[in-house]
């Protein structure tokens, strides 16, 4: 069975350079879950666990008596987050992480249908005692025309890369569709040193 490796076959989506570049992102399926608050909280960590549990349930389905038409071997995609701020958060001069609004997600192969997801979600809920499993949903997301950059360093240092993106927008007469942005986490932030973390930052543009 041929294995799909996003790191090799989809470099344009996941491995930009450390300078902004334009990209047209196609529609893709994701497992997602939303919330509000500090990403250092237990709730946020538990929601990540729910996403990964279901993602691996789908990946390992062929070993667990649940054959899927069109299935192929693949590497589980990285965690992603779409981030916004509440109205109160926007009025503050310093970032208050408690006012963050997020949807975190993990991309899924195109063979994952709503029925497949629902079946495996029910099986996982019965098998594992993990909070928030029932809140995860399967959805199609289309980022479309965007600019993105590879940020190397801590999350708190992201404004450095965001400024590069803002300068790129101004120089090329481009505008963001909204203040929402996407982050793709290529590093395990529990294991990798902060100054070596790799995160794709993406703005959605008109």
Predicted model pTM:
0.94
165 Cβ contact partners less than 8 Å away, ≥ 6 residues apart: 20, 147, 149, 201, 203
pLDDT attached to residue 96: 87
The whole-number average pLDDT for the span 34-56 is: 96
pLDDT attached to residue 84: 93
Top pLDDT among 71 and 2 is at: 71
pLDDT attached to residue 1: 59
Angle at 124 between CA 182 and CA 49, to 5 degrees: 35
pLDDT attached to residue 94: 86
The whole-number average pLDDT for the span 3-21 is: 95
Angle at 62 between CA 60 and CA 64, to 5 degrees: 75
Tell me which residue has tokens 């590069």.
Answer: 164
Domain edges within the chain: 3-199
Q: What is the mean pLDDT of the chain?
A: 94
DSSP 182: E
**Pairing assessment for the beta strands 3-4 and 73-74 based on DSSP bridges:** parallel
- Residues making up the chain, counted from first to last: 206
pLDDT attached to residue 187: 93
Which CATH architecture group holds 3-199? Alpha-Beta Barrel (3.20)
Q: Report the distance separating Cα 153 and Cα 40, nearest Å.
A: 17
Name the 3-class secondary structure at 10.
coil
Please report which helix (H) or strand (E) contains residue 61, including its range. Answer: none
Q: Report the distance separating Cα 93 and Cα 96, nearest Å.
A: 9
Q: Report the distance separating Cα 87 and Cα 102, nearest Å.
A: 14
Digit-coded pLDDT (tens) for 134-178: 999 999 999 999 999 999 999 999 999 999 999 999 999 999 999
pLDDT attached to residue 54: 97
Q: Report the distance separating Cα 106 and Cα 110, nearest Å.
A: 13
Write the CA distances from 17 to 12, 158, 166, integer angstroms: 10, 15, 16
Digit-coded pLDDT (tens) for 16-36: 999 999 999 999 999 999 999
Q: Report the distance separating Cα 20 and Cα 169, nearest Å.
A: 9
Strand partners, 184: 80, 200
Q: Is the dihedral of CA 31, 190, 102, 167 positive or negative?
A: negative
Top pLDDT among 28 and 96 is at: 28
């Amino acid at each position: 069975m041929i294995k799909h490796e996003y790191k090799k076959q989809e470099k344009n989506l996941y491995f930009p350079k450390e300078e902004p570049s334009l990209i047209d992102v196609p529609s893709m399926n994701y497992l997602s879950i939303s919330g509000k608050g500090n990403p250092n909280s237990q709730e946020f960590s538990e929601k990540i666990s729910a996403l990964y549990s279901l993602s691996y349930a789908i990946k390992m389905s062929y070993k667990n008596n649940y054959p899927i038409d069109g299935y192929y071997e693949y590497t589980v995609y990285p965690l992603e987050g779409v981030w916004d701020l509440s109205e109160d958060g926007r009025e503050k001069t310093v970032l208050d992480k408690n006012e963050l609004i997020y949807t975190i997600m993990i991309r899924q192969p195109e063979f994952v249908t709503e029925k497949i997801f629902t079946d495996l979600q029910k099986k996982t809920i019965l098998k594992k005692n993990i909070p928030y499993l029932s809140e995860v949903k399967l959805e199609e997301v289309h980022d479309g025309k965007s600019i993105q950059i590879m940020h190397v360093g801590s999350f708190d240092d992201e404004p450095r890369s965001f400024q590069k993106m803002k300068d790129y927008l101004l120089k090329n007469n481009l505008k963001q569709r909204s203040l929402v942005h996407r982050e793709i986490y290529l590093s395990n932030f529990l294991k990798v040193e902060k100054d070596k973390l790799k995160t794709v930052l993406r703005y959605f543009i008109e």
